[in-house]
Amino acid sequence: MSELIRRAQPGDEAEIVAMIRELAEFEHAAQECVVTETALRTALFGDQPTAHAHIVEIDGRAAATAVWFLNFSTWDGVCGIYLEDLYVRPDFRRRGLARKLLSTLAAECETNGYTRLSWAVLNWNVNAIALYDAVGGKPQSEWTTYRVSGPELAALAARRS
């Protein structure tokens, strides 16, 4: 069995989008997932990339992905990585691929002088929580995540005057 963890490259969009959609289905939110290959290609490989991704290949098959972007800590004065999605296809679970992707992103932080690797997890995803606890992740219980989107985002934007 050959295993390769690598940065995503042009041409990987279809597999990454497929895995994002599989993740959305797993998270019971498939109807909210509207990403297209074109949108992802622009985000990952456009003139000003806004996201990055890694892929794990097992025997040449896309087995897992991590999609992430840089954030900035005003307290540290440097960037960090925010892991938007980590997904391992069911046939490839329990092989340590998620842990290896997290290690790869931690190494990306170390190499570039980034001070943080952050992510969010659904409260009911006990398997992911167990992994994150095992790698030294700490829940940030003093923070509550907020989001504004859809009609509320449009209404908020309209109030800027």
Query: What amino acid positions are annotated as catalytic residues?
Result: 132
CB 84 within 8 A of CB 48: no
Residue closest to 14 by CA, chosen among 47, 33, 36, 42: 36
The rounded Cα 132 to chain-centroid distance in angstroms is 14
Strand order in the sheet with 117-119: 3-7, 52-58, 61-73, 78-88, 117-119
Beta strands 78-88 and 117-119 are parallel
CA distance 86 to 13: 15
